[in-house]
Amino acid sequence: MNAIPAYLGRDVLLLEKLAVKTGLKIISNTGLYGVRNNKFLPKYVENISAENLAKKWIAAFEDGIDGTGIKPGFIKIGVDTTHPLDTLHQKLVIAAAITSLKTGLTIASHTGKAIGLWPQLGILTKMGVSPASFIWVHAQAEDNNKTYLKAAALGCWISLDGLGWDVERHLEKLVYARDHGILDRILILHDAGWYDPQKEQQNIASYTNIFTKLLPALRGHGFTDDEITLLLSDNPAKAYGLVMKG
């Protein structure tokens, strides 16, 4: 899964080349990213309606991204952690809801702390989108673990990202999720990479920590093979699977 959105470096043709060379199945996205006070949003978002924005994202699903024929596997949006949400961010959530209802695509939203989660779920449920079609991205930023129980009870997917550099924090939260019966709502991601082709020398966070550091630590805390399979395979398949509405 590649969560880089449009206007932040998404290159589906490059992803296609990587998929062909490696044999990996790589999922890209449609949507827009409003994080950091809208600095990555194109200017047209200010004036376009949520309905017309959704039409663009639906067209990407039906016809391919930017005329490539490569279709997105999920909707990626991003909001700043405020309540209420910025008006443009509300528009992104509404457009994502419309797109999800039409296409069955899951919505993955860069959110962070839960203060930005609840207004999004409020909009989505009001529009008829199940929380089970929503991924709370960067949920590891939330300090109150009990909040995960509330989100999981609603059916929301809880994505713990940043395993490229922060294994201990994730380990504690994964143990909490297992001990409180919500491991079947948890996703884990490296959130690594960050390669800048314009720089000759740079430190690149690798995509290996899950396998070299986290899995041994989980087994050391008594995680079973079935629980590890749930995290690595079963949960992602369910979270990103198409769910047609009506």
Overall average pLDDT of the 59-88 stretch: 96
Q: Which residue has the higher pLDDT, 224 or 200?
A: 224
Read off the pLDDT of each residue in 93-105 and give the average, rounded to a whole number: 98
Q: What is the pTM of this model?
A: 0.95
What pLDDT is recorded for position 246? 44
Q: What is the mean pLDDT of residues 109-122?
A: 97
Of residues 193 and 147, more confidently modeled: 147
Q: How confident is the model at residue 198 (pLDDT cuts 50, 70, 90)?
A: confident
Whether residue 168 has pLDDT greater than 60: yes
- How much is the pLDDT for 243? 72
Write the secondary structure of the chain as one string of H (helix), E (strand) and C (coil): CCCCCCCCCCCHHHHHHHHHHHCCCCCCEECCECCCCCCCCCHHHHCCCHHHHHHHHHHHHHHCHHHCCCCCCEEEEECCCCCCCCHHHHHHHHHHHHHHHHHCCCEEEECCCHHHHHHHHHHHHHHCCCHHHEEEECHHHCCCCHHHHHHHHHCCEEEEECCCCCHHHHHHHHHHHHHCCCHHHEEEECCCECCCCCCCCCCCECCCHHHHHHHHHHHHCCCCHHHHHHHHHHHHHHHCCCCCCC
Across residues 111-119, what is the average pLDDT? 97
Domains of the chain, start order:
12-239 (3.20.20.140)
